[in-house]
Amino acid sequence: MVSKIVGVGHYLPEKVITNSYFEERNPLFQYDQNEERTGEPIITSDEWIMRRMGVAERREAGKDEYVHHLGAEAAKRALCMAGMQPDDLDGIMLTSVTQKTRFPSAAIEVQKLIGARNVKEAFDIGAACAGFPLALYHADLAVQASRGNYLVVAVDTLRKITDDTDANAPLFGDGAGAAILSYTDKREGILAYSSGSNPFDGKSGWILQGESGKLRMPEGKSVMREAIESMVSLSKDIKNQLGWDNKDIDLIIPHQANIRILKQVGERLGLEGKVFINIEKYGNMSPATCAVGMSEAVEQGKIKEGSKAIIVSFGAGLIYTGVGLVY
């Protein structure tokens, strides 16, 4: 007995930020863990951003548009696809690091916005970029226990905490994705989970929110190496748990952290043609990257009924999460 994903949806803010925005703000700078500028100024360009990050544009939420607003819109789309009403939901799990307030939770605010009056639990999960697979796992457990319908929302407004003088600023964008899980007694749905957490040897400081409130990534090269290793390892573990070979896998959706990371993950796994990539359009949207990716993959027919997929992610902490599923 497991849970099956019966609906997905995503929402992107209207405002588009192209790379010219950052070219106009040259030079950019590297920052250390104490938020002091280090090294030489960096003159960025569209070519530099595309080569190093793979991002052509990203979305930005409006001044009065917050995590719960984006999340509610994605949730409505997932409900529509599932053929459900808000009152059919039993629980809401939302993963984000940019909620407007710590309490009430953004999950509660989404519940209120969509009018889900029968929800029995609604709460936030803080796992940064690794939040979507983690939330899917916990929603799966809840569905198994209750046989109810659970909404998972992965959303962030990273642009609100991005310092546009930071050389990493062009990487980040805003967006939301959602999935609805329901009970099934068939051999489909969320079938495997893999994770890890390693804050040791200074790793908890590799990606952080500084005292200024701004997002900092002072150890970019180390983050890149760790992201590749962790997402490859998660994928292999999930394959082993399920007895899948590469020919069995229809799609892998890795966290859209950086185009170089995505290419390396595909190459290391021997799945180059099966890696979903949308980073060029949206940048890194934290946990929303995998959720939006899954929604777009369904929309584009890359995932359909019976498809076997792996979703893997990596985030600040450092924390690593992944799920294997049959759609």
CATH code of the domain containing 169: 3.40.47.10
Percent of the chain with pLDDT over 90: 97
321 and 255 in a common domain: yes
Measured distance between the N- and C-terminal CA atoms of the chain, rounded to whole angstroms: 15
Number of domains the chain is built from: 2
167 and 151 in a common domain: yes
Q: What is the pLDDT of residue 185?
A: 85
Cα separation values, 94 from 139, 193, 253, Å: 10, 18, 19
262 and 161 in a common domain: no
Q: What is the pLDDT of residue 20?
A: 97
Q: State mean pLDDT over 81-87.
A: 98
Q: State mean pLDDT over 89-101.
A: 97
131 and 203 in a common domain: no
131 and 6 in a common domain: yes
* Digit-coded pLDDT (tens) for 8-52: 999 999 999 999 999 999 999 999 999 999 999 999 999 999 999
Find the domain containing 156 and state its range: 2-14+60-184
247 and 276 in a common domain: yes
More confident residue, 318 or 185: 318
* Digit-coded pLDDT (tens) for 237-275: 999 999 999 999 999 999 999 999 999 999 999 999 999
195 and 179 in a common domain: no
151 and 201 in a common domain: no
- Residue 147 inside a domain? The answer is yes
pLDDT value at 138 more than 70? yes
- Residue 229 inside a domain? The answer is yes
Question: Of 156, 184, 212, which residue sits at a domain end?
Answer: 184
Under 8 Å between Cβ of 160 and 213: no
Categorize the per-residue pLDDT at 184 as very low, low, confident or very high, splitting at 50, 70 and 90: confident
For residues 131-154, one letter each, b for 16 or more C-beta atoms within 10 angstroms of the residue's C-beta and e for the rest, the string is: bbbbbbbbbbebbbeeebbbbbbb
195 and 172 in a common domain: no
- Residue 255 inside a domain? The answer is yes
Categorize the per-residue pLDDT at 1 as very low, low, confident or very high, splitting at 50, 70 and 90: low
Q: How far is CA 265 from the centre of its chain?
A: 16
6 and 132 in a common domain: yes
Q: What is the DSSP string of 222-289?
A: HHHHHHHHHHHHHHHHHHHHHT--GGG--EEEE--S-HHHHHHHHHHHT-GGGB---HHHH-B-TTHH
Question: Of 157, 184, 211, which residue sits at a domain end?
Answer: 184
Q: What is the pLDDT of residue 145?
A: 94
Q: What is the pLDDT of residue 186?
A: 83
Say whether 126 sits in a helix, a strand or coil.
coil
- Residue 50 inside a domain? The answer is no
- Residue 26 inside a domain? The answer is no
- Residue 52 inside a domain? The answer is no
* Residues annotated as part of the active site: 129, 255, 284
Distance (Å, whole) CA 140 – CA 134: 10
Mean pLDDT, the chain, rounded, equals 96
Count of C-beta atoms within a 10 Å radius of residue 22? 21
202 and 115 in a common domain: no
Rg (alpha carbons) of the chain, rounded to whole number: 19
- Residue 40 inside a domain? The answer is no
Question: Of 184, 215, 238, which residue sits at a domain end?
Answer: 184
Under 8 Å between Cβ of 152 and 96: no
Q: What is the pLDDT of residue 122?
A: 98
Q: How far is CA 179 from the centre of its chain?
A: 12
* Digit-coded pLDDT (tens) for 119-134: 999 999 999 999 999 9
- Residue 33 inside a domain? The answer is no
153 and 193 in a common domain: no
How many alpha carbons fall within 13 Å on the CB side of residue 45? Answer: 4
